[in-house]
Amino acid sequence: MNYTKEEILSFLTAEKEEILDLMKQTVNNEENNTITYSKNIFIPLTEICRNDCGYCNFKKTPEDKNAIILKDMDEILEELKIAEKQGCKEALFTFGEDADESPAVVKALEDKGYKNMIDYIYDVCLMTLNETKLLPHTNGGNFSYDALKKLKEVNASMGLMLENSSKRLMETIAHRRSPGKDPELRIDTISNAGKLKIPYTTGILIGIGETKEEIADSLLTIKELSDKYNHIQEVIIQNFTVSPGIEMENCEEPSLMDMIRTVVAAKLLFKDSDVSIQVPPNLNYDTAQIFLLCGADDWGGVSPISKDFVNPTSPWPALEELEKLTNNVGFNLTERLCIYDKYITPEWLNEKLLDAISNLS
């Protein structure tokens, strides 16, 4: 069933027993009692970024003595080996968008014999496949078609948050100094990933000044891309959280009811698309269980050894605790790979990646 924008808006503005009825619909749509997660290690290659979002907890400047300008491959491999021993199967590589526009990053790359970040991350992912049993998943902002085509060869999956499809937010505290958050650029990147048949993760960020109508538009934009290319594995519903020192530290977080309505709307919209709905448990620890009753069926990447560098003030729950939270609602927790099963075919992956996945099995 395809929902109209007006119907999605009605979900996002539901009240009283309407909300309970919608929640019941999402739970009834579940084919099984399984909630999934990916056991990963989170490795930022650089914390330099051209964007300066009002809610960002990730970006650092080259002048910051604690900033990661460019993580060395030997250090990366050492961390990957630790993750491998801990049973992790996903290597999540992140870095600030167009970090190689910074002279400090350019120099660090040149010192290692590289001209740009794309070549560097390619070799990092190739090393991961050759030297470990982990599967690379890269999320580094907008990429060109050619860059995506290259990275596809060494990534089991990739991702980029749409965040919101509204150009209006480019004029607000959230994105006014972040050219890479232009929704047209992000939609182009997600579209190109679809054209290249890259299994993909995307999602929206709520609580950054958007309207209900803009949430509806954003969800429908992702649905349109998913229907066109069939490459969207999961849609993340992420809530803005206040942290000390960010530009938006005095802004209001989205309410629990806003999160419930948005998760419900996403689940109903994608219920026939075989797309998972993910809610980050570390950003919603006290309320995480209720989202399972709203149709969320994935916790995303959870690491036993590294912090969430994008949300450093929100630690991941221990896997044992995550299982308790899941079981207590009546669901079973199951580990998955960073690539969903339906994409593990020669249509989507090359032989090297298929072999790597086969070795994991």
Would you say domain 5-360 falls under CATH 3.40.50.300? no
pLDDT (average), residues 103-114: 98
> What residues contact 134, with CB distance under 8 A and at least 6 apart?
41, 80, 83, 84, 88, 89, 90, 91, 128
pLDDT score, position 316: 80
Q: Where are the domains of the chain?
A: 5-360
| Angle in degrees, CA 151, 156, 161, rounded to 5 | 75
pLDDT (average), residues 237-241: 96
Query: Is 53 labeled as ligand-binding?
Result: yes
- β 332-336/232-239 pair status: unpaired
pLDDT (average), residues 222-247: 96
Whether the Cβ atoms of residue 1 and residue 272 lie closer than 8 Å to each other:
yes
pLDDT score, position 311: 78
- β 232-239/276-278 pair status: parallel
Q: Hey, what amino acid is at 238?
A: Q
pLDDT score, position 28: 67
pLDDT (average), residues 137-147: 97
Which residue from 55, 65, 64 is spatially nearest to 244, judged by alpha carbons?
55
pLDDT score, position 220: 98
The pLDDT tens digits of the residues spanning 309-343 come to 777 776 888 899 999 999 999 999 999 999 999 99
Angle of helix 212-229 relative to helix 5-12, nearest 10 degrees, comes to 130
Round the average pLDDT of the chain to a whole number and report it: 95
Own/partner pairs for 119-122, CB < 8 Å, 24+ apart? 120/45, 120/70, 121/45, 121/93, 121/95, 121/151, 122/150, 122/151, 122/153, 122/154
Q: Worst-scoring range by mean pLDDT, 24-33, 221-230, 286-295? A: 24-33
pLDDT over 70 (residue 351): yes
pLDDT over 60 (residue 29): no
pLDDT over 90 (residue 1): no
| CA within 13 Å, CB half, 57 | 15
The pLDDT tens digits of the residues spanning 10-21 come to 999 999 999 999
End-to-end Cα spacing for the chain:
35
Rounded to whole angstroms, the Cα distance separating 262 from 11 reads: 8
pLDDT (average), residues 203-211: 98
pLDDT score, position 182: 98
Other beta carbons within 10 angstroms of residue 72's beta carbon come to: 12
The pLDDT tens digits of the residues spanning 191-202 come to 999 999 999 999
Query: Is 125 labeled as ligand-binding?
Result: no
Whether the Cβ atoms of residue 234 and residue 278 lie closer than 8 Å to each other:
yes
pLDDT score, position 30: 60
Q: Which residue has the tokens 């579940």?
A: 30
pTM: 0.96
Rounded to whole angstroms, the Cα distance separating 50 from 62 reads: 12
pLDDT score, position 31: 64
